[in-house]
Homo-oligomer: A and B are copies of this chain.
Amino acid sequence: MTRRSFPMSKVYGLLEPGPVVLLTTSHKAIANVMTMSWHTMMEFEPPLVGCIVSQNNFSFTALKVTRQCVLNVPTTELASKVVGCGNTSGRRVDKFEAFGLTPVPAAMVAPPLIAECYANLECRVVDTRLMNRYDFFVLEVIKAWVDPARKDPRTLHHRGRGAFMVAGNTIRLPSNMK
């Protein structure tokens, strides 16, 4: 795929519809992947993203210590890999190898991009005030990449217990909302 730099001002449109993302971290030379659905935009520019990474997840310590991650947005072709990453722990499994995901070096952070994902957001942690109480991190997106050929990507949206809504058609309405 072609991967192009993507403007910060448009990042919100990638995460606002609520896609499952694959969060990559890198700690002590081990890169890991976590499936995550609990995230929200918090600011347009620079783009801020709030997300929950549970203390039970192997990624928690990596994110807490290194303060870096990448949010990779998969589409429906990757559904089985997304579930595979959600069903396993980086404590025991090299998920890149186990699920055939290809790490690609990022520009600004240590964790890798996932080549198979149509968008990749390089992030740093900017606020941990709600980390101890809620496992909530505030991320700033510092570099974004997207495959410009994918106009209406068929993202996955978790409904719980293995049920995923697949993105349907996009409609356009006369809106003043950003």
Contacts and interface: CB of A to CB of B under 8 A. Distances in A.
Interface of A: 10, 12-13, 16-19, 35, 37-43, 48, 50-52, 76, 79-80, 83, 86-87, 127, 129-130, 133-134, 136, 138, 152, 154-155, 157-178
Contacts of A158: 16-17, 177
Contacts of A134: 42-43, 48, 50, 127, 138
Nearest to A171: B164
Given A17-B165, A40-B40, A157-B167, 14 more contacts: A16-B18, A16-B37, A16-B38, A17-B18, A17-B157, A38-B40, A83-B175, A127-B130, A155-B165, A157-B157, A158-B177, A161-B178, A164-B171, A168-B169
